[in-house]
Amino acid sequence: MNFLSTFVTFKNLHEVRRLCHWGPIIALSVIAICSTMAILDSIIWYWPLDTTGGSINFIMLINWTVLILYNYFNAMFVGPGYIPLGWKPENQQDTQYLQYCRGCQGYKAPRSHHCRKCNRCVMKMDHHCPWINNCCGHLNHAYFTSFLLLAPLGCSHAAVIFIMTMYTQLYERISFGWSTVRIDMSAVRQFQPLMPFSVPAFAATLFALGLALGTTIAVGMLFVIQMKVILRNKTSIESWIEEKAKDRIQHYQTGEEFIFPYDLGSRWLNFKQVFTWSGTPRGDGIVWPVHPKCHQHTLTIEQLKQKADKRVRSVQYRAVEDYNGACCPLSKGLQTFFRTPCTEEPRIPLCKGDTILATRGTKWWMYGDKVLSEEEVRAGERVRGWFPRRCVEKCHYDTAASDATSDKKVN
C-alpha cells in the first residue's frame, strides 16, 4: 500500500475523471483492440516459443503497447502545466506588457493562453486535444508527440501481423462465377495452432486491420504537424499571431521587421527545448530563451498591439465556396481532410457570400464568428466555429461590423 500511495494521490484520483470522455474512451479502445488482436494473431501466425524471430516479434508487440500507453497517460495526467492562479511578474513594470486574465485573476505569462475547457491559463498552449481530454502544452508536449510517433509504428507492426495471419491461414483460391464468389477457407498449417482461425476471427482481424491502417495514417499526419511546430519552436496559436503581425505591418507600412522571438535559429536547439533525456522540458514555463534581437515580451507586446488595433483583432473573410459543416470534408481536399482541427469546437456551415470574422487559424482551417443579420443578433444568436480556409477569401476590413458583432455577442 505504501508503494501505491507514492503514485496514487488525491490529485491523481481527481484527474482520473479525464478518462470519462469520448476521446480517451475511443483512443484506449483502439489501442486495446489492435494490441489484443495482434497478440492473438501472433500466436496463430508466428508462435513465439518456436523460433527466435517469433519471440522477438512477440516482445516487440508488448513493447509497443507499454510505450504507447506510458506516453499517452503521461500526456493526459502530467498535463501541460498551468500558470498559478493570481500570478504576477516579479518586476511590476512588466505588467504593462502582459494581458490580464479575469478567469484566473492574474496575468498571462509569455506564451500562455487561457483554455475555456480547462478553465486555466496554460503554459505554452498549443491546443486542447479531445483524445487526451487535456491541453497540449509545455510539460506534456514531448509525451504527446512521442505518443503520436509510437502509435503509427505500433499499428504498422500490428497491420503486418494481421495481413500475414490472414494470408497464411486462408487458402488463396477464389473462383469467380456468373453469380457466386466462392472462397475456400481451408488453411495450410505446418503446425496445429492453439486456437482456430474461424470466420469470427477473420472478421475481427479484418476490423482490427482497418483500425490499424486508419490510425497509422491519421496519427502519422498529426505527428508530422507537431514536429514542424517543435522544430520551429512555435505553437499553432503563435503561428496565427505571427500571421496577423505581418498583416498589420504590411497594412500600415510601418517598416518594422517582425522576428518570431522563440525560434532560436537552429532546428536542433528548438528540438532540445522540448525533448530531453530526463523527459522534463527545459525552462519553467514562464521565462523562455529568445532570439538575440528580441526580449521576453516581444510577442506579448505584439498581442497588445493587435488587441488595440480593431482592424486586426478579427480579420474579415467572405465565403467563396459552400461548406456543409462536416468535421472532415473530403470534398475540400486531402490536406483539409487530414488536417482537420483536433478539437471539440464546432464547425460552422457556410454559404457563398457569407461574411466571417476570423480570430485565429491554421494553414488549412480558420476559426471565427459568422456575421449575422440584425434580427439574429437581437435574438442573441451566435455562430462560431471552424471552417476550411479554402472556402473563404480575405476582403476589406469593416471595423464597424466587427465592433457591432463584438458588442452584441452573448457570453
- Cβ atoms within 10 Å of 277's Cβ, excluding its own: 5
The answer to whether 356 touches 324, Cβ cutoff 8 Å, is no
CA distance 301 to 268: 27
> Angle 129-367-234 (CA atoms, 0-180°, nearest 5)?
60
| Residue 305 CB partners (closer than 8 Å, separation 6+) | 245, 248
Helices (H), 99-140: none
| Residue 81 CB partners (closer than 8 Å, separation 6+) | 122, 123, 124, 137, 138, 139, 140, 285
- Looking at residue 12, its amino acid is N
Beta bridge partners of 317: 356, 394
Candidates 129, 135, 136, 155; catalytic one:
129
Length of the chain: 411
The answer to whether 290 touches 298, Cβ cutoff 8 Å, is yes
Active site residue 129: yes
| Residue 68 CB partners (closer than 8 Å, separation 6+) | 31, 147, 150, 151, 154
| Residue 283 CB partners (closer than 8 Å, separation 6+) | 138, 273, 289
HEC string of 315-367 equals EEEEECCCECCCCCCHHHCHHHHHCCCCCCCCECCECCCCEEEEEEECCCEEE
Point out the residues that are catalytic.
129
